[in-house]
Amino acid sequence: MNRRKFLTILGSAGVVSALGSAKVAEASPASFPYYPDSWGVLHDTTRCIGCRRCEAACQQVNHLPEPKVPFTDLAVTEKKRHTTAYEWTVVNKYEVNGKPYFRKLQCFHCNDPACASACFARCFSKLPNGAVVYDGSQCVGCRYCMVACPFYVPGFQYDLAWDPLVQKCTFCEPRLKEGKLPGCVEACPVDALTFGRRSDLIKIARARMAENPGRYVDYLYGEYDAGGTAWMVLAPAAGGAPVPVDDPQGAGTEFKQLGLDTHLGSQPMGQLTYGALGAVPMIVAFWPVLFGGAWAMTKRREAMAKLEQEKIIKDAKDDLAAAVDAAVRKIGETEGEGAAERARQAMTEALKAREAQNSGDGHGEEK
Amino acid sequence: MRNGTTLFLLAVTLLAFAACPPAPGAAPAALEPTDSGAPSAIVIFPVGAKPNPKAAAMQPVTFNHVVHEKWMERTGKDCIVCHHTGDAVACTTCHTQEGKLEGAHITLYDAMHATNIAPRKDNTPASCVSCHGKQLTQRDCAGCHTTLVRNARNEVWCTVCHTVTKSMTAEDMQQGIAGKLPERRNEALAAETELARKMVTYWKAAMAPQKVVIDSLAGKYEPCVFNHKSHVLSLMGRIKENKLASAFHTEPATLCVTCHHNSPASATPPKCASCHSPTIDPAAPQRPALMAAFHLQCMSCHKDMKVSRPRNTDCTTCHKLRAPERAANQAN
Amino acid sequence: MDTHGIIIPTKDKLFNLEPLLSKTPGNIITWIILAVGFVITVIRFTVGIGSVTNLTEAQPWGLWIGFDLLCGVCLAAGGYFTTVACYVMGMKHFHSAVRPAVTTAFLGYAFVVVALLYDLGHPLRLPYMFFFPGTTSVLFEVGLCVATYLTVLFIEFSVAPMEWLAQKFPWLLTCRKIVIRVTILLTIFGVTLSTLHQSSLGSLYLIAPGKLHPLWYSPFMPMFFFVSSMAAGASMVIFEGLFAHKGVHQYMDATHLREADGVVLSFARAASFILFAYFMLKFIDMLVQANLPWLGTGWGAWWLVEMFGFVLLPALLYAKGARDGNVGLCRMTSVLAVAGIVLNRFNVSMIAFNWQLPSAERYFPSIWEICISIFVVTMIVTAYRFIVYNMPVLYEHPDFKGEEH
């Protein structure tokens, strides 16, 4: 392999990485378009009674393992449970303004999901019907999706040695395809879960707020949070208490009391990383120039120093030669040609020995 | 004290009757007098400063002062709730159709109907509607009025307050609008109206079914046997005890539309399943599915009326588990 | 030349395994750790990740990522730091420090990958990221850069084994010549890749603002990770020297020994500057992000401990040590600085991560996770010792002495 060949390979590597970063730029929010006809679910926490029917239905339709605690035991709702690889939805009880309310936890099916943005093997996709689905066949098991998810949703099959996968609510995507409702929605005895087009659900939620003054917090969680989610949540208001003035969002603390983070912002979580990813091509392009330049300058400085040194040495040598000549001439004048020749030889040898000694002193002392 | 005043007033009335020759025809029954000595009832005219030769205005309101005063006394409140300036003057003194400087340019309409009243430092005034609206949150009313029946300002309800006896003449009206109707005449008109007010006579409970068997969804559970009569009677009793409720629940069917909602009030309302399909209709996702409709109806009312039993998650109180499921459950 | 006990392998006796196999206490401990590690490895790969770790749904990344990956990559920054100083900036007097630094960097990265295989659910699918590239993922960038940089480091490092084996396989001489010729290209390629993935390790957490405490979360995390990796690189060269001089002193040639103190002092000065800069960056960022109110909390106290005790203090000690020419102080400070970097990575990945969760749901590594981490470090040390005993890392090979490159 000659130098040119190697440079070609290096060059094509650069092109490849440049292409990679071009894709990064392309994968701005536009790579996960907002699907206007997508489905969603509106979760009305003022209706939820914490019966765990949705959990049971989820286990049944998704063929999940039997739970440790039977679904008829409602005491487990007191614990703040998370979704896991084997429980894709759980209902927890929360105290909101001193009164008990229930909230169902499951995948929010973001418009532009953090998990999909974080996955480096492209296992997640947001489907036009609204579902965020996961294909484990190319999952590496890095669990960055779990780090990225702002809702702590995906679970991992830590108990499996062979083929452990990330698991989460699928929005019952296979059932949606058949024209059926998601298992949990179908099972809900009080319609605390309303299934519909996401755009309709926003209107329904607003209508409920308008028709029931004082019943709901005037904020629809998931309409904009984390870039918007397909599953949205209505929270109970304090009941007649005025909305605090220092709460511009109007979300109050009710959502926080329901265990929901209202500080995620309205941009998709993945966008937080796009700035850093956008800097990649800059560094790829600029760093070689910067360091190559620094290297070239160093080289040039070294070369100039060397030249100068050589000149000094040459001058010194010339001076020395002149001095030797003068001395030899003087010896020749006083002691004759023979002695002069012997003296010249002795002086030359002494100088050579000195030079050899100098150069043998190892390298790199030119600090 | 009141007894004293009553006795005194009775004596005065008797004396007056004794002194005067009886009027021709039946003697008109009188309203109970007030403690404060204010008129027992008055007609509130839409007083305005603009000339109004044709007396084109909203029907005046007949205000029963006695009833309100008694309620104040009963609930430990003060005249200042309504007479918010502290002076016992008529509302129309400051609040006219157009608004006046004295009334901070708050029109008569707003003074009577405003619901979102900005809090004041000392005494926040109340309008008729705001105060009546608050009454809906009390336990006896909350069941229907929290979720299901919204206190919308429907024209049906206007005439409950905006009503005056037919004997009011055009001239009375004109004088009233101008604020020049003699007090005597005003009070007479008001008393006549109030005395003519009939309290509603409901259908007899027997007209409604005694028990309703809800079986359209029965599967895992046996059909639910709903005691329709006891629910109707319970609500009727609550309305009867409350003057405000009695005034507004004028039609017998008013009571029924709580549950039999979104259809014209009738003695034979359509079935729930006529609108609520067994599964949710994606075309109308805002409409609860049948099972949810039942549960939401029962549970929200029970919750708002603080009926602690049965618990929401206690399924078998309302509908028994079917035998095979029961056996399976016991086997577990 | 003073070789004082350097054993240079020859064509006939290629391996110098004596120091690894002799029954010294150090070797016995090493073998015990490796044996225990092997057992845990078997359990991990036959029963599942859950059997040996405390990882949960809320804490999917624990010690193996927080220490083995984040700290491993960061502490292997000595590789790019030294090569850039020597080759790009022309500080030729660091030349003897290049090979040890490249060796540790290569080993560091190689074992980062090894440790990663423990943590991945599907270790064999690691190359999938090249077949199904999720280009919106920071992790993809990290993976691509680490994979490429590991290759670069391998080529840079390959000079040592080639010199070692050249007598037996003469064709290696040609390869060696090529590698030495492209040293500067490799160096510049290496620093570019290092900048990218060192910073990207910080970018990994940009996506989780709700989970990381605001005092540690910042949009500038990539920059903090990169700047601190430079300090870590410089400190690690000093830190390694501390142990190398204890353990494998007899394998250092005269040049190495002569230049060692100069390397320590220069790197200490550099690290001092970088740590100062890092301190200022973090402090200004804290003010700009309006995090001042947090300083009054327990988390604030912990942040101040990190910033003053493990960033500013080593910066000051380094400055003093470098100015006074106090090599001992610089070496001691390097321990503190390295601990500080590790602490920072622990804070970001574990301690201040999920800070809002109730303590019952917080993560603490299991004993087996810690064992695996120790196991990995022991493997690195053992591999380093093997290389040092056999290859010309701390000394110049007599066959190639005096070649300028």
Give the CATH number, domain containing residue C45: 1.20.1630.10
Per the model's pLDDT, the better-predicted residue between C396 and A170 turns out to be A170
Q: B149: exposed, middle or buried (C-beta count within 10 Å: 0-12, 13-18, 19+)?
A: middle
What is the average per-residue pLDDT within B4-28? 54
Per the model's pLDDT, the better-predicted residue between B281 and A120 turns out to be A120
The minimum CA-CA distance between B289 and chain A, rounded to whole Å, is 7
Residues of B with Cβ-Cβ distance to A47 under 8 angstroms: 296
Residues of B with Cβ-Cβ distance to A50 under 8 angstroms: 312-313
Which homologous superfamily is B205-267+285-331 in?
Answer: Cytochrome C3 (3.90.10.10)
The minimum CA-CA distance between A205 and chain B, rounded to whole Å, is 9
Per the model's pLDDT, the better-predicted residue between A2 and B302 turns out to be B302
CB contact under 8 Å between A164 and C58, yes or no, is no
Task: Give the pLDDT confidence of C279-302 residue by residue, as tens digits.
Answer: 999 999 999 999 999 999 999 999
The minimum CA-CA distance between A185 and chain B, rounded to whole Å, is 9
Whole-number percent of chain C with pLDDT over 70: 98
The closest of A28, A154, A115, A144 to A124, measured between CA atoms, is A115
- Fold agreement (B27-196, B205-267+285-331): yes
Confidence of residue B195 (pLDDT cuts 50, 70, 90): confident
Between vectors from CA A48 to CA A42 and to CA A51, what angle results, nearest 5°?
125
Is A66 touching B (CB cutoff 8 A)? Answer: no
Q: Is the per-residue pLDDT at C350 higher than 60?
A: yes
* Domains observed in chain A: 33-267 (3.30.70.20)
**Is C1 domain-assigned?**
no
Residues of B with Cβ-Cβ distance to A194 under 8 angstroms: 280, 285-286
For A50, nearest residue in chain B (alpha carbons): B313
CB contact under 8 Å between C48 and A164, yes or no, is yes
Task: Give the pLDDT confidence of B311-332 residue by residue, as tens digits.
Answer: 888 888 888 888 776 666 665 5
Of A44-53, A68-77, B198-207, C120-129, give the lowest mean pLDDT range.
B198-207
Tokens 């004028």: give the residue.
B250
Chains in contact with B, counting 3 or more C-beta pairs less than 8 Å apart as contact = A
Q: Which domain holds residue C113?
A: 23-394
CATH code given to domain B27-196: 3.90.10.10
Is A191 touching B (CB cutoff 8 A)? Answer: yes
Is B137 touching A (CB cutoff 8 A)? Answer: yes
Dihedral sign for Cα C367, C368, C369, C373, please: positive
What is the average per-residue pLDDT within C154-178? 90
CB contact under 8 Å between A51 and B312, yes or no, is yes
Per domain, the residue ranges of chain B are 27-196, 205-267+285-331
**Is C108 domain-assigned?**
yes
Residue type (1 letter), A242: P
**Is C11 domain-assigned?**
no
CB contact under 8 Å between C134 and A161, yes or no, is no
Confidence of residue B23 (pLDDT cuts 50, 70, 90): very low
> How many domains is chain C partitioned into structurally?
1
Tokens 């609204």: give the residue.
A130
Q: Is the per-residue pLDDT at B254 higher than 50?
A: yes
Residues of A with Cβ-Cβ distance to C53 under 8 angstroms: 158
The minimum CA-CA distance between C155 and chain A, rounded to whole Å, is 13
Please state, rounded to an integer, the average pLDDT across all residues of chain B: 81
Please tell me the distance from the alpha carbon of residue A101 to that of residue A78, in angstroms, as a whole number. 11
Q: Is A133 left (phi over 0), alpha (psi -120 to 50) or beta?
A: beta
Per the model's pLDDT, the better-predicted residue between C341 and A317 turns out to be C341
Beta bridge partners of B214: B224
Highest average pLDDT, of A26-30, B138-142, C185-189, comes from C185-189
Task: Give the pLDDT confidence of B211-232 residue by residue, as tens digits.
Answer: 888 888 877 888 888 888 888 8
Peptide bond into B209 cis (omega under 30): no
Residues of C with Cβ-Cβ distance to A256 under 8 angstroms: none
3-state secondary structure of A76: helix
CB contact under 8 Å between B147 and A215, yes or no, is yes
Of B280, B293, B299, the CB nearest to A49: B299
pLDDT of residue A109: 95
Whole-number percent of chain C with pLDDT over 90: 66
Bridge-based pairing of strands A90-96 and A99-105 is: antiparallel
Q: Is the per-residue pLDDT at C319 higher than 50?
A: yes
Q: Which residues, in sequence order, are CB contacts of C192 under 8 Å at separation 6+? A: A283, A284, A287, A288, A291
Residues of A with Cβ-Cβ distance to B330 under 8 angstroms: none
Q: Which of B214, B294, B313, B325 to probe the A interface (max A CBs under 10 A)?
A: B313
Task: Give the pLDDT confidence of C100-116 residue by residue, as tens digits.
Answer: 999 999 999 999 999 99
What is the average per-residue pLDDT within B292-318? 86
pLDDT of residue B17: 54
Q: B151: exposed, middle or buried (C-beta count within 10 Å: 0-12, 13-18, 19+)?
A: middle
Task: Give the pLDDT confidence of B37-65 residue by residue, as tens digits.
Answer: 888 899 999 988 887 777 778 889 999 99
The minimum CA-CA distance between A145 and chain B, rounded to whole Å, is 32
CB contact under 8 Å between A195 and B285, yes or no, is yes
For B286, nearest residue in chain A (alpha carbons): A204
CB contact under 8 Å between A6 and C178, yes or no, is yes
Which residue stretches of chain A have pLDDT < 70?
1-33, 239-252, 359-367
The minimum CA-CA distance between C399 and chain A, rounded to whole Å, is 16
Please tell me the distance from the alpha carbon of residue C189 to that of residue C200, in angstroms, as a whole number. 17
The closest of B82, B63, B65, B157 to B123, measured between CA atoms, is B82
Is A206 touching B (CB cutoff 8 A)? Answer: no
Between vectors from CA A297 to CA A291 and to CA A301, what angle results, nearest 5°?
145
Please tell me the distance from the alpha carbon of residue C184 to that of residue A292, in angstroms, as a whole number. 9
Confidence of residue C249 (pLDDT cuts 50, 70, 90): confident
Structure tokens that stand for A42 in this block: 């509106």
Task: Give the pLDDT confidence of A91-125 residue by residue, as tens digits.
Answer: 999 998 888 999 999 999 999 999 999 999 999 99
- Write down how long chain C is: 405
The closest of A273, A170, A269, A157 to C60, measured between CA atoms, is A157
**Is C13 domain-assigned?**
no
H/E run at residue A96:
strand A90-96
Bridge-based pairing of strands A39-44 and A231-234 is: parallel
CB contact under 8 Å between C187 and A291, yes or no, is yes
CB contact under 8 Å between C192 and A82, yes or no, is no
Residues of A with Cβ-Cβ distance to B147 under 8 angstroms: 212, 215
CB contact under 8 Å between A215 and B279, yes or no, is no
Please tell me the distance from the alpha carbon of residue B255 to that of residue B235, in angstroms, as a whole number. 8
Residue type (1 letter), A74: L
Residues 71-100 in A contacting B (C-alpha not used; CB under 8 Å): 74
Confidence of residue B15 (pLDDT cuts 50, 70, 90): low
CB contact under 8 Å between C141 and A277, yes or no, is yes
Bridge-based pairing of strands B41-44 and A99-105 is: unpaired
The alpha carbon of residue C223 and the mean position of all alpha carbons in its chain are separated, in whole angstroms, by: 18
Of A345-359, B176-190, B292-306, give the lowest mean pLDDT range.
A345-359
The closest of C273, C262, C256, C211 to C57, measured between CA atoms, is C211
Task: Give the pLDDT confidence of C353-373 residue by residue, as tens digits.
Answer: 999 998 888 999 999 999 999
